[in-house]
Structure 1
């Protein structure tokens, strides 16, 4: 079931060693931005790992420069016609987010550099997160004319508290690893997050898989609520994709200028 996973996508490298499956996102030219194909492939890898008796724990990481710059907007807009008629949560980003949310085994993230958009959202579904001191986080949905995704409205407020979540979501500003630690998005700041993630994974690789899964379910029992939240948020995102604000944000991105949202202000 785990055969040929490394050949699914040239920008996703998969290794399995000592019951640890590592997923490495490696597309440096795009700062590891995720295409529709990459979302679908990571979801397939997670589902296969969840069913495999060879895997106790998963590590999710980027390359030496960045974790991920989030959604590849050019790819998403060019592929938009493919998604016509699909349920909102059946599009690639939400296929991935549902897969990582339902993953029943421990998953550890090691992040550095750009950690933006879905790069932050997916961390809410990881069990442990380690970050390099220079990691730059951002949840910029508001500046794209979009709403939140992936259970953010439920999980981020649960982690950070309402006021901090509101500040970061309603301004879309960048924030540091220190702030991410205060918001409880990450466990620890360290110079070598990949090494620390591997150390924790090695500890769990020696433990009984069934017990790991039971304890994870016990400490996060609200799985149905999370999945429902992801679906509901996906429906709102789908509505926002055709909004004038979203169109202006994408055009500004493609034209390398700042978006002008003043034109949409009501007098």
Structure 2
């Protein structure tokens, strides 16, 4: 990973690819070029056979304190419609490998939306989440109203979205928005430990489990179960299934190769 990026840091740690937002002087405020870099690298990791899991985090005191308001303040509706900037965000949802987010400090507005694109979210005790767009006379546009509602239900999501209030890490945990609250100084270490644990699993199983869970969010129970069943059958065409079951029979650790 020798390529230089302007707004992010990129590194590879064994089987874990790490993308760190890197505009610390403005609390990692998200502008369009940063989104392009994030999406480009995540897609590269998705195609890289060495990478099994992707970690998304932020350098400095915050994960991301929101979108870059200067970039949008003078925009008009037709300009934004033609630009159609959020189609880039859609590509994150197409990534097949698990994405784990590590949030410290602020995850507000677009920063919260980016965090919600992750499959699993860990947060430091000082993390604060929220959608302050209402106070700017606008609303979330990169999936905030949709993803938050699917996570916590209509009534609670409506409360946070209409008030713009901040949500603490413990509140986010309570409402199922995040998976764990971790001491700030241990956040990245614990996130990487978890990522490495997941990276040892069969890559095709990781891929098809993620796919099936995401379908469960949108499909009816019957349709979701049909999708799950097809993916279950599909894994029996893999070498990893044979290796995993043979290793179980032989009472040894499996050697998964993603085939």
Q: Which moved more, 1:96-105 or 1:113-122?
A: 96-105
Question: What is aligned with 1:194?
Answer: 188
1:174-253 correspondence to structure 2 within 5 Å: 174-191=166-183, 192-221=186-215
CA positional deviation for 1:24: 0.8
Match of 2:225 in 1: none
Shift of 1:210: 1.4
Q: Please list the CA deviations of residues 36-68 of structure 1 after superposition, one character each: whole Å capped at 9, or x if unmatched.
A: 111111111111111221211110001241100
1:35 matched residue in structure 2: 31
Matches of 1:140 and 1:184, distance apart in 2? 20
Instruction: Report the TM-score, using the length of structure 1 for normalisation.
Output: 0.74
Gaps of 5+ in 1: 226-267
Match of 1:8 among 5, 13, 17: 5
Larger radius of gyration: 2
Task: Report the equivalent of 2:79.
Answer: 84
Counterpart selection for 1:155 from 121, 126, 147:
147
In 1, Cα distance between equivalents of 2:70 and 2:198: 39
* Alignment deviations for residues 59-82 of structure 1 (CA, whole Å, 9 cap, x no partner): 00012411001101113447x59x
**Count of aligned positions:** 216
Q: Distance in 2 between matches of 1:31 and 1:152?
A: 20
Shift of 1:188: 0.8
Paired residue secondary structure (1:179): helix
Distance 2:212 2:178 in 1: 20
1:120 Cα deviation after fit:
1.2
Question: Secondary structure in 1 aligned to 2:100?
Answer: strand
Distance 1:85 1:143 in 2: 20
How far is 1:85 from its partner?
7.6
CA distance in 2, matches of 1:186, 1:127: 10
Q: Quick check: 2:103–2:127 contact (8 Å CA) kept in 1?
A: yes
Q: Kindly indicate whether residue 138 of structure 2 is the aligned counterpart of residue 143 of structure 1.
A: no
Structure 2's unaligned 5+ residue stretches are 220-259
The reply to whether residue 106 of structure 1 matches residue 98 of structure 2 is yes
1:168 aligns to 2:168 (yes or no)? no
Deviation at 1:176, TM superposition (A): 0.8
Structure 2 residue matching 1:221: 3-state secondary structure: helix
Taking only aligned residues, the RMSD between alpha carbons, in angstroms, comes to 2.2
Shift of 1:108: 0.4
CA displacement, residues 69-106 of structure 1 (integer Å, 9 cap, x when unaligned): 1101113447x59x938645x31xx1442122221110
TM-score where L is the length of structure 2: 0.76
Alpha carbons 1:43, 1:95 under 8 Å: kept: no
- Give the structure, 1 or 2, with the largest relative contact order (CA under 8 Å, sep 6 or more): 1
Q: What residue number does 1:48 align with? A: 44
Write out per-residue CA displacement over residues 229-254 of structure 1, whole angstroms, 9 at most, x where no aligned residue.
xxxxxxxxxxxxxxxxxxxxxxxxxx
